[in-house]
Structures are given as C-alpha cells and as structure tokens.
Amino acid sequence: MARRDKLEQDPMAEMVKAKLWNGYLIRMLLLAGMTTAFSGWFLYDGFVGYPGKQRIFQAFEEYQREGDVDGVTAVQRWNRDRQDRTSEIYGFPRSPEGQNPASKVDDKDILTQKLIGFGLLPFALASIAWVVVHLGRWVGLTDDALMISSGQKAPINAIRKLDKTRWFKKGIAVVTYMDPEQQIEQQITLDDWKYDRYTTRAILKAIEDQLSDEQIIGEREPEATDPDDGDAATLDEAKSGDAVSSSPEPTAGNAPDASDTSAPGDEETRPSDKA
C-alpha cells in the first residue's frame, strides 16, 4: 500500500537517516517472545509441572496398593484425605470414577522437558539481546559521509568501492572505504531487510552519484521516475520528505542471505522490489 514517507532528517547535521524497519523489529520481538515463552513453558514442566504430576500418580498408586481399609475403598479414602489439611495429599486432584487423577510421568519425561527448555534458552536470550542492541540503530548520510549509529563513519571521498552484486536479488550492498584514522579498509553493509527501504535506496543512490563506474561492482540504481513504482529517490527528495514509497512484504527473492558474513557493526535495511 502506498504511503507518504517523511524520511527522517537530523536538521543539525543535515543527515538523512534510515531507521530500523518496524516490520522487522516486530518479527524479532515475536521471535524473542515465542522462544522465551516456550523455554519457560518447558522449564516449568520440567521443574514444577511434571514432578507434581509424578507425585500425584505415585501417591494414588500407594492408596490402591493398600486397598480397602475398614470398609473404605482406596478411592473414597483418597477423596477424603485430599480435603484434610493434615493429609500429605491435601489439595491433590479428586479421583474421577476411581481413576488415577494424574497421568503417569517418569524421570525420563521430566529430563526431556528440562533439556528442551534449556536448549531453547540460548535462542531466547539471543533474540532478546538482539532486540535490545538494535533498538535505536540507524544508517545515515550527510553531504560528505556515510555513518551508522555505532559511530562508524565512511567519508565519501574515502570510499574505494561499492559492491552491489547481491543488491538486486538480496538487497545487500557493501561499501568499502579507507579509514582515515586507522589507515585500514573498513566496510559498511546496507541490507534492505532490516532498515527503511526507501530511505536506504535514496542513500545508496546518492553515494553512487559520487562514484565512478570503476568503483561500482554491479549495476547502478535506476533514475527516479514514478515513486509509486518504488524507484530510488534522490537525496534532495529524501531531505524534503517529498516522496511516496510502497512497503511490500519480503519475498523469497529478497529474503536475508544466509551466507552473509558481514561484521556485527554493519548496518542493514529491509526488503524491496528489485528486478
């Protein structure tokens, strides 16, 4: 659905920023919530739920082994004692129709619940950590530098190459530049899976316009024509916010590349309609 994007600009630094795409953040929040919930559920069953069922099952079996006492059946004694505060089975479930009120649970079942719960825990913690770390992240462009929220800065005149071999299929472009302070090559990865697509394309187009063909690996971005078609905006359009963009859902063709080994500090954005 088309919408008018006011591409965020820092008026003090004349910077256009692409923030974390809300859709991607929601997906990560859901993943964190689901893994945390499942981990907690299995751990609860392993330490509380299943051991409780095991105690109930074993206690009822003991009543059945004792049989009738003074004309009172095992089931009658069970249902009476479960209401007696001084009884060891006080609060246990009532025995319906003489059946064991708990399903049989052995030590193997309890161990399985614990193993699954602990196995999911690292994924839950990693998902939560990812959300915390990425909140507030952005990639931005000023007149003379590409910057990311972690503090990494690539001066435009220090950019050596722009690798777009995966841009049109995966939405990934890698900017390689010479760090003026450390005098070593560094990289910033733009990936339109995580961050605002339209703003990032405007940033990429602006960088391309200042590079020679020899510095660009892959095809250049098309000139902006009809914004409703998702064409890349110019930086001036981004600064003014006078543009319209669409926000399609990710497709198999532009899903995250599992082979991407970009450094943890690299900035990325969300999927787009690329030919």
If pLDDT is split at 50, 70 and 90, which confidence band does 242 have? very low
If pLDDT is split at 50, 70 and 90, which confidence band does 39 have? very high
If pLDDT is split at 50, 70 and 90, which confidence band does 1 have? very low
The percent of residues above 70 in pLDDT, for the chain, comes to 76
Lowest-confidence segment of 12-16, 68-72, 131-135 by average pLDDT = 12-16
Q: Region 71-98: what's the mean pLDDT?
A: 90
- The whole-number pLDDT of residue 223 equals 63
Alpha helices in 145-187 (DSSP H): 167-170
Contacts of range 151-160, beta carbons closer than 8 Å, 24 or more positions apart? 152/186, 152/188, 152/265, 154/186, 154/188, 155/180, 156/207, 156/210, 159/207, 159/210, 159/211, 159/215, 160/185, 160/215
Residue 136 and residue 131: Cα distance in Å, rounded?
Answer: 10
Q: Region 206-232: what's the mean pLDDT?
A: 73
Residues paired with residue 177 on neighbouring β-strands, in sequence order:
159, 186
84-94 pLDDT tens trace = 988 999 899 99
Of 266 and 161, more confident: 161
Beta strands 15-19; 138-141: pairing state: antiparallel
Contact predicate 174/125, CB 8 Å: no
- The whole-number pLDDT of residue 171 equals 83
- The whole-number pLDDT of residue 2 equals 36
- Confidence check: pLDDT of 178 > 70: yes
Non-local CB neighbours of 160 within 8 Å, separated by 6+ positions: 176, 177, 178, 185, 215
